[in-house]
Amino acid sequence: MIDISALLDEIKASPYREIVIATPHTGRLTFAGLRTGDTVLGPQGQWKEKPGTQLATLERERNPKPICAPEKGEISNLYSELEGQFVEAGTPLAVLRHMLTREEVLRLILQKALHLFCAPERAKYYFTPEVDKKIRASDAHSVAVRDGMEILIMSRMKREVPLHYRGPDGVIYEVYFKYNENVDAGAPLIGVCPRDQLSAIQEVIMRVQTEWKDRG
């Protein structure tokens, strides 16, 4: 079993992370009038259906798109010299100082507690259509995995290779990769919780719930 208290102390020592917000593509950038030090909100609502605070507008081919804050935080740096400029893809436009929330701390600790199935190669990963359908219909928890089950598709060099799950049987508890994003070799793809350890995981969650107080 993992030492939750030690982990929590470690996180408490630096309870924030810096989020660099970069332009998703090229275009002309207009800031939304925020300043360094302002607090912004992440997506809101029960289903995160309301987008976060708008930081800037990126207009490309007469299609203005809002760039919104992905998480709650304080703007620690704003590249305001880019105002009105044409920017390349991946240009940083702001840095957020984001205090870790209970959910994130939980995710961090769970990553230690769950069985992680990691990426064998740097590639893009997708769930197989059947699994994807299940996840889209409800959520990842509904998918039970078995050793040797074909669960993911690894896509690289224009070739798609099915990936077989290796590890204990259980349910997918966490998904660590995003659609159409490259995952480095060795980075975790999914966190699996064996059925008999579900209660242990619940206990971890309880511990974090009680011992972590959100700040900021």
Write the interaction track for other proteins spanning residues 94-123; mark x where CB under 8 A is met and - where it is not. Answer: ---------------------------xxx
With CA atoms as reference, report the closest residue to 68 among 50, 91, 86: 50
Stretch of 70-78, 97-105, 127-135, 155-163 lying at the interface with other proteins (CB under 8 A)? 155-163
Tell me the C-alpha distance between 47 and 137, whole Å: 14
Q: Which is nearer to other proteins, 12 or 124 (CB)?
A: 124
Q: Which is nearer to other proteins, 6 or 157 (CB)?
A: 157
Bridge partner residues of 40 (DSSP): 73
With CA atoms as reference, report the closest residue to 117 among 145, 136, 137: 145
With CA atoms as reference, report the closest residue to 143 among 197, 202, 199, 192: 192
With CA atoms as reference, report the closest residue to 99 among 211, 212, 214, 193: 214
Using CB under 8 A as the binding rule, whether residue 160 contacts other proteins is answered as no
How near is the Cβ of 193 to other proteins at its closest, in Å?
25
Stretch of 43-51, 94-102, 144-152, 206-214 lying at the interface with other proteins (CB under 8 A)? 43-51
Using CB under 8 A as the binding rule, whether residue 159 contacts other proteins is answered as yes
